[in-house]
Amino acid sequence: SQKIEQNSEALNIQEGKTATLTCNYTNYSPAYLQWYRQDPGRGPVFLLLIRENEKEKRKERLKVTFDTTLKQSLFHITASQPADSATYLCALRDTGTASKLTFGTGTRLQVTL
């Protein structure tokens, strides 16, 4: 069956450290993968998109990697800040499914002082 798995346990890290979140998928052939941030009671906010033929994407303190062999994407936040505390969702569009996005259940990140 198809699955997108993110670590369901919260990730607690200290301010200034690098947070690394994992997204693993099974039985998908993603055309691209996206990462979103969601704060409590709010809608998800788009952060980064990485396509199947790209290995890495960066945006300011954010970095995403995409390994189609391992079927995994890693999301890094460098020099993390308490304001980065939120739930982070990965989502992918499977080839041949138009624009339907399938989301993982998200990982909650807590950055402490």
**Site residues, other proteins (CB under 8 A):** 31-32, 36, 41-46, 49, 51, 89, 91, 93, 97-106
DSSP helix, strand, coil percent of the chain (3-state; round to 5): 5, 60, 40
Residues 6+ apart with CB under 8 A from 10: 107, 108, 109, 110
**Cα 48 from Cα 63, distance rounded (Å):** 8
Least distance to other proteins, CB of residue 2, Å: 12
Nearer to other proteins, 80 or 107 (CB): 107
Shortest distance (Å) from residue 47 CB to other proteins: 10
CB 89, min distance to other proteins, A = 7
